[in-house]
Chains A and B, each alone.
Chain A
Amino acid sequence: DAGITQSPRHKVTETGTPVTLRCHQTENHRYMYWYRQDPGHGLRLIHYSYGVKDTDKGEVSDGYSVSRSKTEDFLLTLESATSSQTSVYFCAISEFYRGTNEKLFFGSGTQLSVL
């Protein structure tokens, strides 16, 4: 399995505080993604990166920012957390496989609770 580490695994914070989630990979893969998962909504893409300093928005990017200053780390920041951002956050990387890069590997997730 791909080496992906998400930290922290669990976090409880208060409304209005900044929060940063970290995704670290040891595979040197180009593409990295942040998804959130909520009951009734499935997995939704927040932001993704296709290289160092190259990022783009996903379908639910409002209230989130990302940074990728080196290949192995992709940070997700909630500038001012809100209760609607309580969710499970998954990081993923993609491997070039059979001529495409659609083989995603996911981290174990971060459970974030905003009170």
Chain B
Amino acid sequence: DAKTTQPTSMDCAEGRAANLPCNHSTISGNEYVYWYRQIHSQGPQYIIHGLKNNETNEMASLIITEDRKSSTLILPHATLRDTAVYYCIVRVGGSGNTPLVFGKGTRLSVIA
């Protein structure tokens, strides 16, 4: 599976959009991009995933560049409860025998 690179930490003002970047320049055509987050001391929580098209759900939007070498997770109106570590993971889709491998993620701090 392709390696991902994320900033170690980011800050965002409450109410503003949080844009979390992820670089996956070695991604291959059948690899999906997944985002999870982990709020302090809790288990990680699924946010969104996509292959090549942009995706949106009730939690966030995922923007994948046309060449698929990078993506951005957008939290449109960040709240204090969005303070968490955000993990970007790239993996071949549908390969149930290949579990997700979590890196160190980006620590997002939402500031009042």
Residues of A within 8 A of B (CB): 30-31, 33, 35, 41-45, 48, 50, 56, 58-59, 88, 90, 92, 94, 98-109
Q: When the two chains form the complex, which single residue of B32, B44, B45 contacts A43, counting CB atoms closer than 8 Å?
A: B44
Within 8 A of A (CB), among B65-112: 87, 91, 93-94, 96-97, 99-105
Chain B contact-residue range equals 20 to 34
B43 contacts A100, CB within 8 Å?
no
17 A-B pairs with C-beta separation under 8 A:
A42-B87, A42-B102, A42-B104, A43-B102, A45-B99, A50-B97, A56-B97, A58-B99, A98-B49, A99-B93, A100-B49, A100-B94, A104-B44, A104-B100, A107-B43, A109-B41, A109-B43
* Interchain Cβ contacts within 8 Å, total number: 63
What's the minimum C-beta distance from A92 to chain B, rounded to whole angstroms?
7
What's the minimum C-beta distance from B107 to chain A, rounded to whole angstroms?
11
